[in-house]
Amino acid sequence: MRKLLNLMLATLALGAASCNKTLVNTEESVETLKAKTSTSSVTNEWNSNPYKLNVIYFVPNDVDSIPNFRKRLSKILLDAQNMFANNMDREGFGRKSFGLDLLNDSLINIHYIAGKYGKATYPYSGGSGAVKAEVDSYFNQNPSGKKSEHNLIIIPTYNTDPANPGGPPFYGTGTSCYALDYVNLDAKNLGIGGDIGWKATVWIGGMIHELGHGLNASHNRMNKTLAPALGTALMGSGNSTYGISTTSLTSTTAATFNNSQVFSSVVRTDWYASASAEITSLSSSFVNNKIIVSGKFTTTKPVNDIVVWHDREPFGVNNDYDAVQWSTKIIGQDSFRFECPLADFYDLTGNYEMRIGFLHVNGSRTTLGYAYNFVNNIPDLSKVVTYKLLPTTGWSIVASDSNEPGSPASNVLDMNRSTVWHTPWSSTQTPQPHFFSVNMGALRTVKGIAFRNRDNLNGAMKDVNIYSSTNGVSWTLIKTTQLSKVAGSWINVDLTTSVSTQYLKIESTSSWGDFFYSHLADFGAY
């Protein structure tokens, strides 16, 4: 009886202690592991990469780490490292892959960070910012531990049911990405079938998909003629096929990785510094059942690779899983050419956005979008073109209906896409329509008007009226049109007939997203 009483008291004491425990990492510390291993024996093919992926295990203070996480995650990431290299080699880049900070050939140096708060502070929706702030603080205190700008942040599941993991952030934001850990997240479970095998594919495949985002890759789909051999694109729906059936990098994803910091063998001080490219001439045609696009460009930083996506509407962020794609090298110093067979498209109807991406040597990317559509299974490429714009020297803004402080209408004449005219949005809510008018300094013969948007298209001008005047007082409507919802490239609006005019007025009557405000980065005429 006394033994039973003592056992009950001990159990109660243990229960009380567990209710007030401070959760700690139950696995060996990195220091202990380092003491037991020698990096001099590491033979990993990419151990000499000067930049390596930072792998972080982030644990909220009311969540337990999952047992054996270091070995399980190391195996998953080492397998992915090799898979990426095989794909990079197939696409002509050699056996390049992302570097990993290794303790030995089978164990990654994973940074364990105990979160300051409970899981409620780090939810799936909106919780990544709080996690990232603590990761940044950790590396500020441990600068030698930060091996690159790229972070894979893994958080234990908030749901204790191993059959239903979930809860923490699981996506990519910039050069960081987030994934979760749970008890059956183990490479040995890939392809075994059943619920355990299926969830291993979803969560491991999902982790590697999000890692792709964290290494700069965008969504895309495997081109139709390549799918029988190469299977599903990792950056498409590869999170549902990884470990079950063939899952591959597309040529565009491989080209992107070719310019990612952690794949590079070159030490630079300007990784991801601002860079831009401009297409100075562009032509498009439909020949032999192929979309052919060629052009010339200028750039503020050298470009290694150029890529193109053809994205069917709805397009843009998280609507681009179906975007077929191609990559190419520069021709000479400033030219490019793509041949995109229609046999590689899955749908020859509706509206498309063609996005051309310039991959700079420092990891930055410039993306320019062009709208086109299919008519009777044939692409209408009439808008995929550039014109030589009239010089804007001596041009000035005559008037505008309103503007947000710091975003005057004069910004549309500076040929700088990072500055915009923006009507009020932070305080006064001035409704549509909005307008600005331009004095070109003298009579000009105008055949068309060109508009250019910033990257954020919420509130970009949609339906517009274009007016001309010879005196800036009496205005004549010369065109009503709807502008394409694209960023970066010039949106060209041909006039019905050429006009001789000194003044032009642009009136926005609606915006994309049906916002009360409008904005525009650049304006020109040809």
Whether the pLDDT of residue 255 is over 60: the answer is yes
Q: Is the dihedral of CA 216, 222, 227, 232 positive or negative?
A: positive
Residue 516 CA to residue 526 CA, distance in Å, equals: 30
| Closest C-alpha among 209, 204, 215 to residue 255 | 215
Tell me: do 468 and 509 sit in the same domain. yes
| Closest C-alpha among 239, 232, 350, 357 to residue 293 | 357
Neighbouring residues of 139: CB distance < 8 A, sequence distance ≥ 6: 54, 145, 146
CA distances from 438 to 167, 236, 435, 471 (A): 53, 45, 10, 11
pLDDT, position 14: 26
Reading the block at residue 478, the tokens are: 């010369």
pLDDT band at 20 (very low <50, low <70, confident <90, very high): very low
78-98 pLDDT, tens per residue?
999 999 999 999 999 999 999
Tell me: do 124 and 63 sit in the same domain. yes
Whether the pLDDT of residue 442 is over 60: the answer is yes
Residue type, 502: Q
Decide if 127 is inside a domain: yes
Whether the pLDDT of residue 25 is over 70: the answer is no
Domain containing residue 289: CATH number? 2.60.40.2060
Whether the pLDDT of residue 427 is over 50: the answer is yes
Tell me: do 299 and 372 sit in the same domain. yes
Q: Are strands 335-341 and 378-380 parallel, antiparallel or unpaired?
A: unpaired
382-417 pLDDT, tens per residue?
999 899 999 999 999 999 999 999 999 999 999 999
Beta strands in 82-175 (DSSP E): 99-100, 102-104, 107-108, 111-114, 151-156, 172-173
With H, G, I as helix, E, B as strand and everything else as coil, classify residue 427. Answer: coil
Residue 409 CA to residue 413 CA, distance in Å, equals: 8
Domain containing residue 150: CATH number? 3.40.390
Reading the block at residue 58, the tokens are: 């982030």
Decide if 5 is inside a domain: no
Tell me: do 360 and 470 sit in the same domain. no
Residue 473 CA to residue 476 CA, distance in Å, equals: 10
pLDDT, position 493: 96
Residue 116 CA to residue 126 CA, distance in Å, equals: 17
pLDDT band at 223 (very low <50, low <70, confident <90, very high): very high
316-371 pLDDT, tens per residue?
788 999 999 999 999 999 999 999 999 999 999 999 999 999 999 999 999 999 99
Full residue range of the structural domain in which residue 145 is found:
21-263
Residue 109 CA to residue 53 CA, distance in Å, equals: 10
- What is the rounded end-to-end Cα distance, in angstroms, of the chain? 98
Which residue in this structure is represented by tokens 């001439």?
A: 281
Decide if 168 is inside a domain: yes
Decide if 268 is inside a domain: no
How many domains are there within the chain?
3
pLDDT, position 370: 95
What would the mean pLDDT of 114-133 be, rounded to a whole number? 98
CA distances from 198 to 164, 209, 242, 375 (A): 12, 16, 10, 41
26-79 pLDDT, tens per residue?
455 555 555 555 556 899 999 999 999 999 999 999 999 999 999 999 999 999
Decide if 389 is inside a domain: no
Q: Are 127 and 121 in contact (CB under 8 A)?
A: yes
Tell me: do 56 and 182 sit in the same domain. yes
pLDDT, position 3: 32
Decide if 136 is inside a domain: yes
Reading the block at residue 233, the tokens are: 């694109």
Tell me: do 362 and 489 sit in the same domain. no
Tell me: do 233 and 342 sit in the same domain. no
Whether the pLDDT of residue 21 is over 90: the answer is no
Whether the pLDDT of residue 250 is over 70: the answer is yes
Residue 324 CA to residue 513 CA, distance in Å, equals: 26
Domain closes at, from 209, 241, 263: 263
Neighbouring residues of 26: CB distance < 8 A, sequence distance ≥ 6: 64, 65, 67
The helix, strand and coil proportions of the chain, stated in percent and rounded to the nearest 5, come to 25, 35, 45
457-478 pLDDT, tens per residue?
999 999 999 999 999 999 999 9
Which residue in this structure is represented by tokens 């509706």?
A: 350
Q: Are 286 and 336 in contact (CB under 8 A)?
A: no
pLDDT, position 161: 87
Tell me: do 366 and 461 sit in the same domain. no
Helix extents (H) in 188-323? 194-214, 227-230, 251-258
Buried b (16+ CB within 10 A) or exposed e, 3-42: eeeeeeeeeeeeeeeeeeeeeebebeebeebeeebeeeeb
Report which DSSP code applies to 518: -
What would the mean pLDDT of 238-249 be, rounded to a whole number? 97
Reported as type and span, the H/E element at residue 3 is helix 2-19
Q: Are 146 and 54 in contact (CB under 8 A)?
A: yes
Q: Are 49 and 264 in contact (CB under 8 A)?
A: yes
Q: Which residues pair with 359 in a beta bridge?
A: 305, 365
Cis omega (within 30 of 0) for bond into 433:
yes
Tell me: do 371 and 406 sit in the same domain. no
Tell me: do 259 and 296 sit in the same domain. no
Decide if 341 is inside a domain: yes
Tell me: do 212 and 172 sit in the same domain. yes
Whether the pLDDT of residue 277 is over 60: the answer is yes
Domain closes at, from 263, 287, 310: 263
Reading the block at residue 101, the tokens are: 């900070």
322-335 pLDDT, tens per residue?
999 999 999 999 99
Q: Are 231 and 215 in contact (CB under 8 A)?
A: no
Residue 208 CA to residue 186 CA, distance in Å, equals: 13
Which residue in this structure is represented by tokens 């990891």?
A: 363
Reading the block at residue 410, the tokens are: 């004069």
Tell me: do 152 and 46 sit in the same domain. yes
pLDDT, position 6: 35
Decide if 1 is inside a domain: no
Q: Report residue 304: phi and psi, to 5°.
A: -90, -45
Percent of the chain having pLDDT more than 90? 88
pLDDT, position 27: 56
Q: What is the mean pLDDT of the chain?
A: 92
pLDDT, position 429: 84
